[in-house]
Structure 1
Amino acid sequence: MRKMYSPWREAYMESFKEAKKHETRGKSVFADIPPEEDEERYVLHRAEKCFIIMNLYPYNCGHLMVVPYRQTPDFSDLDNETRLEVMHLADLCMEALKKTISPHGFNFGANLGKVAGGSIDSHIHFHIVPRWEGDTNFMPVVGDTKVLSNDMRRLYLQLRETIGVILRGKKA
């Protein structure tokens, strides 16, 4: 397997050590993120029942997640207001991503349970993955390497600003 050096990901890898400590106390990595850590943890927006956060290990550039504040692994445990807010926030994510990085489409969904691919299966969360025609190429298959071309910090700032503009426009 070919290896590509990406030193900017070291901080993300180190964050798993803290996340594992957090999970051993019965809480997921998404539980109880204090608002003063939003920028550091890439939280883009907080609503009443859920928040939007960037995936630190994205499948594609701009991979976002909608996470209910309530920690549960089961979709059926979410009340109707939370389910509705998940959909509203997913729509907001897609609108912001369209305005910011112009994807051709999206994957939207949740991995429910470890066997379904859920790496954080104790806290349901919903993925919004931007897709572009041709975004899967020979690199993952032949080179066993995924190439992500956007700077995550810069994209975070752009998306946070775009979400703010969209929300201000909806209130007007």
Structure 2
Amino acid sequence: MIEQIWAPWRLQYIEAAGKSEQCIFCDFPAQGEAHDADNLIVHRSSHGFLILNAFPYSNGHLMVVPFRHTTSMEDYTDEELLDTMKLIRLSLRLLQIAYHPEGFNTGLNIGRVAGAGIANHLHWHIVPRWNGDTNFMTAVSGIRVIPERLENTYARLRQALPEALKLEKSEPGTS
């Protein structure tokens, strides 16, 4: 028999479907680099950016977001897709340096029914994982236990960023 775990906290995403015309993934970078810390933007590239998830599953939960606003992978150019993959690789390196996780969950949820909280702008989740980090606090009590404040996570990742960028440039086949 399959057991069920209820996650009532997800209802806010379902009920909010289609209610907002604004897109934070467009608005935040448009505010300029002077606001990156306030908006939790860790790094910008030519076609996208790394941003901390404001509602993380674990410390260091990053999102890779192309600048172009679209709901379809088919809309991106090869250059945009390559830049996105490089940002994903950079985020993995950055999290390895800053947090030393034992693994990662990476993913793209296309559409609200697939789990996308912000369904109108494609973005990839990079979630660092450690042995034994699974807990049911979110499903059982609507609480997520994150031991580090977002401001501290942001500072930690920004401190590790130069080393991660240096590794990006030093490996064969990278540019």
Give the TM-score of the pair, scaled to structure 1: 0.79
Residue in structure 1 matched with residue 25 of structure 2 by the alignment: 30
How far does residue 125 in structure 1 lie from its aligned partner after superposition?
0.5
* Structure-to-structure mapping, 1:6-25, within 5 angstroms: 24=20
Q: Is the 8 A contact 2:97 2:164 kept in 1?
A: no
Root mean square deviation of aligned Cα: 2.0
1:10-40: CA deviation from partner (whole Å, max 9, x where unpaired): xxxxxxxxxx9xx84x441110422221010
Distance 1:117 1:138, change over 3 A: closer
User: Within 2, Cα distance between the matches of 1:68 and 1:143?
Assistant: 34
Which AA in structure 1 matches 2:159? E
Q: Secondary structure at the match of 1:30?
A: helix
Aligned to 2:5: none
Q: How does 1:11-160 map to 2 (within 5 A)?
A: 24=20, 26-33=21-28, 34=31, 35-160=33-158
Gap regions ≥5 residues in structure 1: 1-19
Structure 1 position 137, deviation (Å): 2.6
Asked whether the 8 Å contact 2:44–2:50 carries over to 1, the reply is yes
| Aligned-pair CA distance for 1:149 | 0.6
TM-score (norm 2): 0.78
Tell me the distance in 2 between the aligned counterparts of 1:141 and 1:57.
15
Name the CA distance, whole Å, in 2 between partners of 1:101 and 1:75.
30
Q: Does the 8 Å contact 2:47/2:66 carry over to 1?
A: yes
Count residues with an aligned counterpart. 150
**Structure 1 residues 74 and 153 mapped into 2: Cα distance closer, same or farther (>3 Å)?**
same
More helix by percentage: 1
